[in-house]
Amino acid sequence: MASNGKVITCRAAVAYGPGQPLVVEQVQVDPPQKMEVRIKILFTSICHTDLSAWKGESEAQRAYPRILGHEASGVVESVGEGVIDMKEGDHVVPIFNGECGDCIYCKSSKKTNLCGKFRVNPFKSVMDSDGKCRFRNKDGIPIYHFLNTSTFSDYTVVDSACLVKIDPHAPLDKMTLLSCGVSTGLGAAWNTADVQTGETVAVFGLGAVGLAVVEGARTRGASKIIGVDINPEKRIKGEAIGITDFINPKEIDVPVHEKIREMTEGGVHYSFECAGNMDVLREAFLCTHDGWGMVIVLGIHPTPRLLSLHPMELFDGRRIVASVFGDFKGKSHLPLFAKQCMAGVVKLDEFITHRLPFEKINEAFQLLLDGKSLRCLLHL
């Protein structure tokens, strides 16, 4: 391309402070350095991790100015020295939990999907190769990176370990969902829990990640999928995707875990905590069946509170684990997952509730903040 090796001036939505509206302005994007790729973002969306970072809910998220965003899809514009698995024009999906393929973690086969060098790291705000930013504003001030991706920009630079090449025939708008939400939730059901036909599931929090869990449990043939949410409107969307029962904690006079145990003859096989709330997490733990129940933690917990759990409670046979990116190894597993989505094994349409031009990114944030959207797709 004509821009290869040159600085690109383009639009980006820059966060200058916690809770402040993002500023859509011109920024400069440097060429990719060794083992880096510069991509043209075509679609991006917002998830609760972006929302949490925008609010500045932890010290790790307070590097400003910063370009947020980690759910996206696009096309390779240029590649840096050493990149051999991608070329200009390839269709790609950025991933916040990278896979270098060479470290002890990446070579661990099924033991972990973390990478020693490019795992998700909210403290990281610069590129790995030289500790510098690839973005600058009009005044020449460096703009920090976010979660290995920074997709709220027409162009972004990412490490090649954090970029997945997908089928060129895959619909790029829907493939955006594979960068985070759908992969995280569905992967938790498929990979972490390994839900089997006839087993029972409870999902606490029916946002995009929670509903992706529902989709994963549905495709595996779960006999009962109980959705739990304080927003009564989530029932309709949940039923459209696959929940068999719905519980609004505000509408029952007993603890949620007691209600679920009653509905499932002692508790579910698996519960998924997708709310980022400690009290909800305890209910999710207690609603699983003793002897074999497992709770999978997916929610983002910015609170300094610690888990309310006595060690002796684990002696009843229940287990508690967390799942990062649905235990998918991004570069190894996502190309096949994309093909499964293309083949209709997984339904993605239900997750895109709104579409807006990139300039209305602050409206998209508000829709998520108000609980009115699952994923608002922004067109760049």
Among 36, 44, 57, 115, the one annotated catalytic = 115
Among 44, 57, 66, 100, the one annotated catalytic = 100
Q: Does 375 participate in catalysis according to the annotation?
A: yes
Q: Does 71 participate in catalysis according to the annotation?
A: yes
Q: Does 119 participate in catalysis according to the annotation?
A: yes
- CB count within 10 Å of CB 169 equals 9
Among 91, 106, 244, 261, the one annotated catalytic = 106
Q: Does 48 participate in catalysis according to the annotation?
A: yes
Q: Does 112 participate in catalysis according to the annotation?
A: no
Q: How far, in Å, CA of 192 to CA of 112, rounded?
A: 10
Among 119, 220, 257, 301, the one annotated catalytic = 119
Count of residues in the chain? 380
Among 38, 215, 375, 376, the one annotated catalytic = 375
Q: Does 47 participate in catalysis according to the annotation?
A: yes
Q: Does 66 participate in catalysis according to the annotation?
A: no
Tracing tokens 């029952």 back to the chain, one arrives at 252
The one-letter amino acid at 106? C
Helix (H) or strand (E) holding 127: none
Is residue 107 classed exposed, middle or buried when 0-12, 13-18 and 19+ CB atoms within 10 A define those classes?
exposed
Q: Does 354 participate in catalysis according to the annotation?
A: no
Among 36, 38, 44, 47, the one annotated catalytic = 47
Q: With CA atoms as reference, report the closest residue to 272 among 205, 218, 216.
A: 205
- CB count within 10 Å of CB 54 equals 23
Among 38, 48, 66, 218, the one annotated catalytic = 48
Among 49, 151, 184, 192, the one annotated catalytic = 49
Q: Does 136 participate in catalysis according to the annotation?
A: no
Among 133, 180, 274, 287, the one annotated catalytic = 180
- In degrees and rounded to multiples of 5, residue 212 shows phi and psi of -70, -35
Q: With CA atoms as reference, report the closest residue to 68 among 128, 134, 118, 13.
A: 13
Among 36, 57, 71, 350, the one annotated catalytic = 71
Q: Does 257 participate in catalysis according to the annotation?
A: no
Q: Which active-site residues does the annotation give?
A: 47-49, 70-71, 100, 103, 106, 115, 119, 180, 375
